[in-house]
Structure formats: C-alpha cells, structure tokens
Amino acid sequence: METREEREKETLLHVPVMVDEVLHYLEPCRGGVFVDGTLGGGGHARAILENLEPRLYVGIDRDEEALDVALQYLASFEDRIEVFHGLYSQVGEVLEELNLDGMDAFLLDLGLSSLQLEGEGRGFSFQKEEPLDMRMDRSQELTAAQVVNTYSQGDLERIFREYGEERWAKKIARNIVDTRRKFAITTTTALAQVVEWSIPKKFHPKKIHPATRVFQALRIEVNRELEELERGLEEGLELLRPKGRFLVISFHSLEDGIVKRAFREWEKRGLGEVITKKPVTPSAEEVERNIRSRSGKLRVFEKR
C-alpha cells in the first residue's frame, strides 16, 4: 500500500497545468495522432489519453529521468504511446522513425516540471543548496556553473538582461565576476546570495525571490530554450496536418512573445487561424490548488 508521502509525491509530479482548457482545445483532434513535445512526468498525456482517445500518443522529452517517470505513470496505455528521448524540435525525425507523415495535434508545455524542481541535484531552484547544474538533458556538457564561472562579465550581463529581464543585470554580473576571482560559485545558494546582495534591499521584488530572474536566465542559456522554441514552432507547423492544432503553454514573457508573434505571422500568411485571440490563463481555483500555474499562458493555432 502506498504511503501518504508516496501519494503526495506522485500528485506533485503529475499535476498538469490548465488540463481542462487543453482538453477543450484538443477536442477537435480526438482520435488522431497527438505529439507531446514536453512529456515531463506525463500529466497532460494521461488526461488526454483518458479523455480524447488518440490512436497514437507520441511523447518527447530531453530529460531522461522524466521519461522514466512518465513510462511508469502511463503504463496502462502502453499500447497507444511511443516515447522518445530528445528535443521537440526533432519531431520530424521522430515521426519519420514511426513512419508517419504528420500529426493532428502538437502540445508544448514550456514550464519546468516539479520533477526537475524537486529532483535531487538538479540545481534549478535556490530553495536548497545543490550543485549549479540546470541541465534538462544531463548528457549535455554545458552547466549553469560553467556559465557563471567562465562567461565574460558582458555576456553574463546580456543573459540576465535579455533572458531574465533583470534591471540590475550589470551590477549582478560585476559582483559574480568579483566573487569568482576569490572562489568558484558552484552551488545554488552561493549564487542566490551574490544576486541578493547585488540588488539594493528596497528594490527587492515583493512576490518573488531576488534571484528568480537570474536563475530563469541561466536556465534558458544552459538549455538554449528560446532557440529550441523557435525551431520547434517551425518544425511543428510543417508537420501539422490540415485542421491540426498547435497548443503552447508558456510561463514567461519571452516565450509567450515568440509564440504570439509566430502564430500571428502564420495567420497573416494564410496558413491557418489563431484560435485564442488572447492567451488563456488558469482559473483562480487552479492557481489556488497549484501556485506554479499562476503565470501560465495557453495559445492555440489551427492549421488550414
């Protein structure tokens, strides 16, 4: 029998964001080939498999640990799922391997999974002391520690400003470089402390930790997330069948801006229709249940 802690852990790992909204917008694709480019722990996958009866559900993720969890969580649907380790921009290669010429739905949930945030030694969070890692795919070489300790002051400033939208980027970058001359910054808490004392107390954000934006920026840099999103959007559009739907859930303005511009451009070119004229956001009830959903934005495009 499962212990209470085990049940709580399973719930934590598999809470999908805006699941009712995702099911609503995917309903026209019922029974088709669904591709989930960010399978994670399998939360959205399970809801879709239970409610929309896809004839095949293809899950892709760059995080091998997440794939292991998802395979266990989705074991009862093993006759209808295929799982691949890789980038969602490689969806074309995945479909080719399955001898498929297209897909009826493509879902991307760009948020960090609880598995990554809570997993031991992943280094995505400053809530506990861990090695500065932040790799979604642990087989890649570049880590957050390498970025922090080897990038020039100018590059660090650019990353924090562009990817984290951090107004104190220059001072934070300077203090990181000054600190690493004395000792390497190798843990999440050490970096968080440098960031915290770089920002004057009166300018500390009220709702988030002062290091939040810097950690976001580093994660984006380490995993090349914005480049991957741009490639994935173009690849996904090409492989969608007529009337196929492209759903993207993003969690910060940079990602949402890229998706918004791409969808509008596709509509302008006559390639289809933006179904969500404004982004869909979680209900107050969902945010209360799952605080991590609060910044989520869902956009939907249907191909002509």
| pLDDT tens, position by position, 150-196 | 999 999 999 999 999 999 999 999 999 999 999 999 999 999 999 99
State the Cα–Cα distance between residues 45 and 26, nearest whole angstrom. 12
Query: Over the chain, what is the mean pLDDT?
Result: 93
CATH class of 122-221: mainly alpha
The predicted pLDDT at position 36 comes to 98
Question: The pTM is what?
Answer: 0.93
Amino acid at 33: V
- List the CATH code of the domain at 4-115+225-303: 3.40.50.150
Residue identified by tokens 């918004």 is: 260
Statement: residue 3 has pLDDT above 70: no
Q: Say how far apart CA 120 and CA 122 lie, in whole Å.
A: 6
Phi and psi at 102, nearest 5°, equal 180, -175
Q: Which two tokens stand for residue 214?
A: 């810097």
Residue 69 contacts residue 143 (beta carbons within 8 Å)? no
- How high is the pLDDT of residue 5? 40
In this prediction, residue 207 has a pLDDT band, given cuts at 50, 70 and 90, of: confident
pLDDT band with cut points at 50, 70 and 90 for residue 116: low
Q: How high is the pLDDT of residue 211?
A: 97
- With a CB cutoff of 8 Å and minimum separation 6, the contacts of 261 are none
What pLDDT band is residue 15 in, cutting at 50, 70 and 90? confident
- For 15, the token pair is 């809470």
| Gap between the Cα atoms of 54 and 87, Å rounded | 22
DSSP secondary structure code for residue 203 in this structure? G
Boundaries of CATH 3.40.50.150 in the chain? 4-115+225-303
Give tens-digit pLDDT for 32-80. Answer: 999 999 999 999 999 999 999 999 999 999 999 999 999 999 999 999 9
**pLDDT for the residue 8:** 37
Give the span between the Cα atoms of 13 and 16, in whole angstroms. 9
Name which of 291, 222, 186 is nearest 63 in CA terms.
222
* Beta bridge partners of residue 248, listed in sequence order: 108, 299
Q: What does the pLDDT look like over 20-40, one tens digit per residue?
A: 999 999 999 999 999 999 999
DSSP string, 21-68: HHHHHHGGGTTSEEEETT-TTSHHHHHHHHHT--SEEEEEES-HHHHH
pLDDT at 24: 98
Q: What pLDDT, on the 0 to 100 scale, is given for residue 292?
A: 86
113 DSSP 8-state letter: P
Q: Is the pLDDT of residue 19 over 80?
A: yes
Considering the chain, tell me which residue range(s) the CATH 1.10.150.170 domain(s) occupy: 122-221
Report whether 95 contacts 58 (CB < 8 A): yes
